[in-house]
Structure 1
């Protein structure tokens, strides 16, 4: 396993021919020294992520087209492979397993801890499962990723044996709210720990066909200036970059503001529509199909998640009040329009305002009724009961 926090390997691992002979130039069939790729075992210690040698011995002289470190992937120069992380997942429910599958497929070592026994599911994915958080922390994962529910995050974090982790460990989360975990991390984690707040704006349902184009929000709350720690944070973000996510860097405060106007509203409307027991019909429109899909997607999430979106995002209450206002406005608009129609109907039936409704286009319209019938309570005249006409069928009545 490549470990960013480990010491660099022995100087004998690579050979810098340019140091011994500054005039030496490799033959066309001989690659530059920084591209030599000795086979390394999976558990070798990591190395610096920057190319330390080039054709003329100066890293800055390497042409841009030959640089091995790019934004889209962190690369170990001596092995010519992407950096592989050891990631500890705290919480291994539906969402934790969903993320772990992609992490394992990218070659990262994934450890998982949960209060429930998910050892069988972990074996199927290729994840090492721990039933004790102390045992996981003693494995010294480079990244601790919280995949807990919003409501249980503080309790879980307080119970983690932080003293068993390395002092430079990177902590990250994938909660649907961001200011809350940010404040919690800054309050409870030692100052040497790095902090990365993230939110994949998708889940097992919306991301089951791939993550291409789906937004991934992140905020580098606290990342050490050491190149290895910066590269580790980027290597973690590369999991989502390389999966095709649309990377969106913004502050935790801005995330919560936007999420309250999108994610909370979506869940709120889905929950409201669920109470209506909407059903499939033989004449579904596209719009109605969208509503059914909305109900289906939000109903699959637990009410605990929905409550967490409301309780731990200070902007959610404002959106809820705006929804109440908007609903009342639409009802008043409908009532006002209905009142106007009924008023005109009553004026026509009672003969009021004769000058205004007497003649239209040369025709007498005093007795013309509107399409909207008046409410039954308006009329004081009880209509006579009519006898049903007999219908003759086949000569019989």
Structure 2
């Protein structure tokens, strides 16, 4: 039986998490990773050309780097390769993949609604690290069979697979993902800790801040590439202004 081949372009925090997931849950697959920061050893890290010569290619790069990445891989992927993005914004990556990648291949948009912090937190509690976490997916173009294979693999991991079109995702993500990340970014510097007299709600807040990982670049990318974020930033500004007026 021919081994499934999986390529990962990008080796940041999420790319490294994908490597762990594949190694633990799909050990029979041949995994190839391309990273500008890692030397090619042809064991773990491969050239971009080799990494693109796979059944499934995951583009684990920041949103701001996606177009440059697509322009590099467009002549290296065949119609037999399924290309999957994992950006936290969906309409922009979908449009760019459909425009830049050669016709004929399968394109899947995805947004894993978790990251290394959530994964490792569940692991520390001896819980199945992916069980009941969510991933949003959409078949942008191509093979239903390949799409169903990806969904089945995600479900086998314990993930809740949610099919949703890119525009609806971006509207919902601006409402909850952008707002929650923004709130965490504001509160993290306060270094809140549980105390002997903290309330149950305060403890939940501390747990939320411990679980969520903030990234200034991710927030800026979400704001720049998801048009729905602008209205929520305005709403947050107004809310903070109303709060500050209490003390005038």
Q: Do they fold alike, i.e. is TM over 0.5?
A: yes
Task: Work out the CA distance in 1 between the residues paired with 2:148 and 2:194.
Answer: 46
* Contact map agreement 2:8 2:51 (CA 8 A) in 1: no
Q: Which residue of 2 aligns with 1:239?
A: 153
Task: Count matched residues.
Answer: 239
Matched, 1:141 2:54: yes
| Preserved CA contact (<8 Å) 1:103 1:239 | no
Runs of 4+ in 1 over 4 A off after TM superposition: none
1-structure distance, mates of 2:237, 2:77: 48
Which structure is larger by alpha-carbon Rg, 1 or 2?
Answer: 1
1:88 partnered with 2:11: no
Give the structure 1 partner of residue 207 of structure 2.
293
- Partners of 2:228 and 2:99 in 1: how far apart? 22
Matched, 1:219 2:138: yes
- Look up the match of 1:310: 223
Q: Give runs of aligned pairs for residues 260-299 of structure 1, distance below 5 A.
A: 260-298=174-212
Please say if residues 6 and 55 of structure 2, whose CA atoms lie closer than 8 Å, have aligned partners that are also in contact.
Answer: yes
In structure 2, stretches of 5+ residues that fail to align are 123-128
1:312 Cα offset (Å):
1.2
Which structure's relative contact order is higher, taking Cα pairs within 8 Å and 6+ residues apart? 2
* Paired position in structure 1 for 2:45: 129
2:144 is the alignment partner of 1:230: yes
RMSD: 2.4
Indicate the structure with greater helix content.
2
Query: Over residues 61-93 of structure 1, what are the superposed CA-to-partner deviations in whole Å (9 max), with x where a residue is unaligned?
Result: xxxxxxxxxxxxxxxxxxxxxxx5311111122
1:113 aligns with 2:29: no
Q: Secondary structure at the match of 2:149?
A: helix
The Cα shift of 1:204 comes to: 1.4
- CA distance in structure 2 between the partners assigned to 1:146 and 1:279 by the alignment: 37
Task: Return the match for 2:86 from 170, 174, 189.
Answer: 174
1:207-237 per-position Cα deviation (integer Å, ceiling 9, x unaligned): 23321111110011112xxxxx332222222
> Partners of 2:196 and 2:205 in 1: how far apart?
15
> What residue in structure 1 maps to residue 125 of structure 2?
none
